[in-house]
Amino acid sequence: MKLTILGSSSALPTSERYPSAHLLNADERFFLIDCGEGTQMQLRKCHIRFAKINHIFISHLHGDHIFGIYGLLSTFSLMGRKTPLHLYAPENYDQILKSHLQDFDIHLDYKIIFCPLKGNDPVQILNDKYLTVTSLPLKHRIQSYGFIFREKQALRKIVKESISKYRIPISMMSSIKNGEDFITEKGIIVKNEDITTPPPEPLSYAYCSDTKYFARLSSMVKDVSVLYHEATFDKENKKLATLTGHSTTIDAANVASKAGAGALIIGHFSARYKNITALVQEAQEVFPATYPAIDGKTYDLGTLLSF
């Protein structure tokens, strides 16, 4: 898994930070998470192919997380898109989107498959050959959701030299990759571990923005490989964070610590902070493996866990 930060600012863009948007690359399958103003410009700057985005996840309906989607949907159509687009958003967004398209006389040449987000418990919203995605209820001023992307366990890999050595037929490849031993023509049992290598451990990524601190969240993202958690304010602004339905650096670090996360990325920084170094240092005091969300930067999630 690789994560590109397209926007890390809260509420409004700054000269260095765009509003919220992440692009998750899971085995060359691209998932756009939130779509703040300027997202398609950032996609171009990061050389991300628009056509590879088939799933868009919207956490909630505040402008800094969704104002960029209208231009992006129109651009998809102008570029000749025919592939259906899966859109996951709070349930009331379906009618809002239809109204917008009608009001601005936008006629898309592709189908939008809308998946409504609702309820107060985690719900699996995507399950395919490679991964699952679960929506998580957050606590913000309006209905808001986070997302966990979990890779499925990959198959074992057959050692190339063993194929000719033991004359393994193509018909047996699938069962061996699934962990079965191989029996030669002479009836000799070859242990699976002697002819295969284990796959890497599956990675997981949780996206949590916007939300105030609440104890249940850490249990919902338990043992996640990498957690992204908003840190709109520093610890001195705890009252303001609670009032506005946001989190501080310490809140984010506490969630990561209690969840047993492998690493933490903080973002959604208030525009009041020109330099975010102090914010990262605050979080690191509680959870050392904390990294800042930097616009335009791509993080290899597996590499973050090796430090």
Active site (catalytic) residues: 64
277 vs 13: CA distance, rounded Å: 18
CB 263 within 8 A of CB 205: no
> Please, what sign has the CA dihedral across residues 280, 7, 97, 132?
negative
Cis upstream peptide for 34 (omega within 30°): no
Closest by alpha carbon to 108, among 129, 83, 142? Answer: 83
**What DSSP element (H or E) covers 96?**
helix 93-103
> Please, what sign has the CA dihedral across residues 117, 119, 120, 121?
negative
User: Going edge to edge, which strands form the sheet with 53-57?
Assistant: 112-117, 85-90, 53-57, 29-33, 21-26, 2-7, 298-300
